[in-house]
């Protein structure tokens, strides 16, 4: 019986096993199973990685039995009228060639000693525990290799030759059970049609699809395994890039309302600026102005490092649209950030934001704010201004997406901190326009080049890398939390900044109260510091007498706004906050930041937080307080942040240190992910070449009618992973 990739697993491995594969791993067809690739390969006699076991993990180890020792246990106390139950314990010590060991324990299974004889190699799968300081696997499942070294035929059959594939597994589906199912499927598989265009396979000398599936699961050599991985990575990269390029091409032919360059309100605003634009702002502004004036909608990603002036670039784009009868909507992920944008835009525009008021310039417009916490009266007035067109610029949160928010002529959608939104939110806002609006996506999180090409590959990309005039340097230092002298000096520096008339932030990883979420520690660590606890300690201790404010996500919108206004007005000396201040908050008088438990934050998050200081004429200071010991990965991460303020360099480092799944985002984390082998860090060449091939392919045949098998893969990705194509 020969089967194809679309065959149901129940017809191949049986109903019971198929149900387990579906329930545990989401695998339903032969194609699903054969796309469940091994994550590593063991070899008979190789070193097993017993030095990296972690308590609580489900693991599979390849090791050799050193000893199997039965130990009697006290009988279990009998129930009334019953005999005592005898008990025994079998302890099995297994080790790798480096002598690293782990103990296997089996209760009342002494008969296993006949199988687990010293000298035998095998795969052992179970959950890592600890007893009296020793790591152990309690009743692990196992698969032993054949003992007869002179006749390896059985081992070859059982474990695919010298290479032993180790699969992502579950407690009920150990790796060898998955391997057995894979072997059955491969033995029955008819040679599948190759979905990659023949010209691309030939140009890049890629292995055939059927051969690649066999070699990824049962490799004959390192060379054949490498060729199989290359082929399958190429397929992942080309499918993804073709989906992005096709999406970009389709968007490029949509009709849009042109918004010509210049205009009275934009020219008046430019004339009022007290500082010159940077070269980058002028260059990116010209790119955006050209696209806004075109007959097809702009789709552009604007990424800029902390403080590079993205908001000013976006505002000038909004004014170009407003100048020619349109409206612009800015979508922000939080009420704090939406409120900050609303205030800063109104302040930058001055009288130009007073449209409809007595004495306002003829060209002035109105800047409206719409959030979920608006009162009924506020919401009603704002909705009327939006629908009539009186409000040319509308800033808001998800409240902008609700039914009942109707625009007079929505011409530009600006999405701030795009990584916090999905495709549904962006499309919901764009759908409020009569004709497809222009779209500007902004992020202050620097994006590595391969991530931008892959995650945002359907957008044109602009970068702002230089800081505007007036921005001050920021010094960053790591402070050991356990050193009382250093900590005393930390709080003294905060007091010195306040005494000089400036302000500071203190950042903690959690809110407090019943919030016990640990953002980076392990079982053996203290809970992370909380703002609600820390503000009281600072108030009665090292910052006694200073005016402290509290800001976190659980406060209601009115209180958040009150605190931010008070801080911006200089009525609060030190703001004790969570990461709610991570992006968008702009208080030029704030010069110092203390980040407590800094090791619990990621590189990009630390960089974003640090960007809240040094925004005025005074130098910034950021102190990363941490318990991380020198030489640890956590401390190295903090030292890297302290060594540079180049967000793009830090983004590349962040990519190196994070798992690919984390970078690709939740949309690719499922078991049926379309990206399983491709690495954004190691496979730059493949991604770039696949992009170039995808551009040529779509240009020559936009619907890919000449490559139906490949087009089906692209359609499948577009349908299943549409959200992945727009957020990372």
Q: What is the pLDDT of residues 614-631, one digit of tens each?
A: 888 899 999 999 998 888
Q: What is the largest CA-CA distance in the chain?
A: 99
pLDDT digits (tens, 9 = 90+) for 216-225: 999 988 899 9
Q: Is 30 exposed, middle or buried (0-12, 13-18, 19+ CB in 10 A)?
A: buried
Q: Give phi and psi for 263, each to the nearest 5.
A: 120, 150
Q: How far is CA 14 from CA 9, 18, 21, 213, 633, in A?
A: 7, 6, 11, 22, 46
pLDDT number for residue 605: 85
pLDDT number for residue 268: 96
- 42-76+84-150+160-166 topology per CATH: OB fold (Dihydrolipoamide Acetyltransferase, E2P) (2.40.50)
pLDDT number for residue 263: 93
Q: Is residue 25 within 8 Å of residue 36, measured between CB atoms?
A: yes
Q: How many CA atoms lie within 13 A of 287 on its CB side?
A: 18
pLDDT number for residue 674: 67
**Token digits of residue 660:** 């690919």
Give domain limits for the chain: 42-76+84-150+160-166, 264-464, 474-644
Q: Is residue 579 within 8 Å of residue 520, measured between CB atoms?
A: no
How many helices (DSSP H) and strands (DSSP E) are in the chain? 24, 21
Q: Is residue 128 within 8 Å of residue 53, measured between CB atoms?
A: yes
How many Cβ atoms sit within 10 Å of the Cβ of residue 135?
Answer: 16
Q: Is residue 63 within 8 Å of residue 96, measured between CB atoms?
A: yes
Cβ-based neighbours of 323, under 8 Å, separated by 6 or more: 259, 262, 263, 264, 265, 266, 363
Percent composition of the chain: helix, strand, coil (DSSP 3-state, to 5): 40, 20, 40
pLDDT number for residue 537: 95
pLDDT number for residue 22: 93
Low-confidence ranges of the chain (pLDDT < 70): 43-49, 84, 146-162, 418-424, 445-446, 448-450, 455, 468-471, 514-525, 583-584, 655-674, 720-728
> Which residues of 52-162 form beta strands (DSSP E)?
58-76, 85-95, 101-107, 121-131, 134-138, 141-144
Round to whole Å and give the CA distance between 74 and 86: 7
Q: Where are the alpha helices (DSSP H) in 277-309?
A: 279-292
pLDDT number for residue 100: 86
Beta bridge partners of 93: 67, 103
- 264-464 topology per CATH: Rossmann fold (3.40.50)
CA nearest to 343, candidates 560, 149, 187, 126: 560
**Pairing mode, strands 121-131 and 101-107:** unpaired
**Token digits of residue 574:** 């030190």
Q: Is residue 432 within 8 Å of residue 331, measured between CB atoms?
A: no
Round to whole Å and give the CA distance between 44 and 431: 59
Round to whole Å and give the CA distance between 538 and 170: 47
Round to whole Å and give the CA distance between 84 and 160: 47
**Token digits of residue 600:** 């619990």
SS3 category, 176: helix
- At the second CATH level, the architecture of 474-644 is 3-Layer(aba) Sandwich (3.40)
Round to whole Å and give the CA distance between 164 and 178: 12
**Pairing mode, strands 438-443 and 460-464:** unpaired
pLDDT number for residue 501: 96
pLDDT number for residue 48: 47
pTM of the model as a whole = 0.66
Q: Is residue 398 within 8 Å of residue 372, measured between CB atoms?
A: yes
CA nearest to 392, candidates 419, 363, 415: 363
pLDDT number for residue 725: 38
pLDDT number for residue 96: 79
Please provide the distance, in angstroms rounded to a whole number, between the alpha carbons at the two ends of the chain.
43
CA nearest to 189, candidates 10, 19, 12, 21: 12
SS3 category, 416: strand
CATH fold match for the domains 264-464 and 474-644: yes
């Amino acid at each position: 019986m020969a089967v194809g990739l679309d065959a149901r697993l129940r017809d191949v491995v049986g109903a019971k096993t198929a149900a387990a594969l579906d329930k545990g791993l989401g695998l339903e067809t032969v194609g699903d199973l054969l796309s469940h690739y091994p994550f590593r390969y063991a070899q008979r006699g190789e070193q097993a990685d017993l030095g990296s076991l972690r308590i609580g993990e489900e693991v599979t180890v390849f090791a050799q039995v050193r000893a199997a020792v039965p130990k009697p246990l006290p009988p279990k106390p009998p129930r009334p009228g019953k005999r005592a139950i005898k008990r025994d314990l079998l302890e099995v010590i297994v080790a790798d060639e480096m002598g690293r060991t782990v103990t296997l324990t089996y209760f009342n299974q002494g008969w296993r000693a006949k199988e687990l004889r010293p000298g035998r190699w095998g795969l052992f799968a179970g959950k890592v525990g600890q007893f009296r300081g020793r790591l152990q696997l309690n009743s692990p499942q196992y698969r032993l290799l054949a003992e007869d070294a002179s006749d390896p035929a059985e081992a070859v059959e059982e474990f695919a030759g010298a290479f032993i594939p180790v699969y992502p597994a579950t407690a009920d589906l150990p790796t060898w059970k998955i391997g057995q199912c894979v072997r059955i499927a491969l033995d029955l598989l008819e040679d599948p049609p190759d979905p990659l265009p023949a010209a691309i396979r030939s140009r890049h000398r890629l292995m055939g699809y059927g051969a690649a599936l066999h070699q990824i699961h049962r490799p004959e050599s390192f060379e054949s395994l490498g060729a199989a991985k290359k082929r399958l990575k190429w397929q992942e990269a080309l499918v993804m890039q073709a989906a992005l390029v096709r999406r970009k091409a389709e968007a490029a032919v949509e009709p849009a309302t042109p918004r010509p360059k210049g205009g009275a309100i934009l020219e008046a605003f430019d004339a009022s600026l007290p500082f010159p634009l940077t070269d980058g702002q002028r260059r990116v502004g010209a790119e955006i102005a050209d696209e806004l004036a075109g007959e097809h909608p702009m789709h552009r990603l604007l990424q800029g490092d902390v403080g590079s002036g993205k908001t000013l670039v976006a505002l000038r784009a909004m004014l170009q649209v407003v100048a020619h009868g349109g409206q612009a909507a800015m979508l922000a992920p939080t009420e704090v950030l939406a409120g900050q944008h609303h205030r800063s835009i109104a302040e930058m525009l001055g009288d130009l934001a007073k449209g409809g008021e007595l004495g306002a310039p003829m060209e002035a417009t109105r800047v409206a704010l719409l959030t979920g916490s608006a009162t009924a009266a506020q919401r009603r007035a704002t909705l009327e201004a939006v629908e009539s067109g009186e409000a040319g610029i509308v800033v808001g949160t998800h409240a902008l997406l609700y039914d009942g928010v109707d625009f007079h002529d929505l011409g530009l959608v600006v999405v701030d901190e795009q990584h916090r939104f999905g495709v549904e939110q962006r499309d919901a806002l764009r759908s409020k326009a009569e004709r497809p609006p222009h779209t500007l996506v902004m992020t202050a999180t620097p994006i590595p080049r391969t991530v931008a090409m892959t995650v945002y590959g359907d957008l044109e990309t602009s970068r702002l890398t230089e800081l505007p005039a007036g921005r001050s340097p920021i010094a960053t230092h790591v402070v050991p939390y356990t050193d009382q002298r250093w900590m005393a000096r930390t709080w003294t520096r905060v007091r010195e900044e306040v005494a000089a008339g400036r302000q500071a932030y203190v950042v903690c990883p959690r809110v407090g109260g019943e919030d016990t979420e640990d953002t980076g520690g392990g079982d053996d660590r203290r809970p992370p510091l909380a703002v609600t606890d820390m503000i009281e300690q600072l108030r009665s201790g090292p910052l006694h007498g200073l005016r402290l404010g509290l800001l976190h996500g659980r406060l209601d919108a009115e209180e958040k706004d009150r605190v931010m206004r008070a801080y911006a007005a200089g009525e609060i000396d030190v703001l004790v906050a969570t990461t709610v201040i991570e992006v968008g908050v702009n208080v030029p008088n704030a010069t110092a930041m203390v980040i407590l438990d800094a090791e619990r934050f990621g590189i990009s998050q630390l960089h974003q937080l640090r960007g809240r200081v040094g925004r005025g004429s005074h130098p910034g200071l950021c102190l990363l307080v941490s318990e991380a010991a020198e030489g640890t990965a956590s401390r190295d991460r903090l030292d890297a942040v302290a060594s540079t303020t180049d967000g793009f360099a830090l983004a590349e480092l962040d990519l190196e240190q994070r798992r690919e799944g984390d970078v690709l985002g939740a949309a690719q984390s499922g078991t049926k992910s379309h990206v399983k082998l491709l690495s954004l860090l190691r496979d730059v060449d493949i991604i770039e070449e696949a992009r170039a091939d995808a551009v040529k392919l779509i240009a020559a045949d936009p619907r890919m009618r000449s490559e139906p098998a490949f087009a089906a893969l692209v359609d499948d990705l577009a349908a299943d992973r549409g959200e992945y194509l727009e957020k990372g």
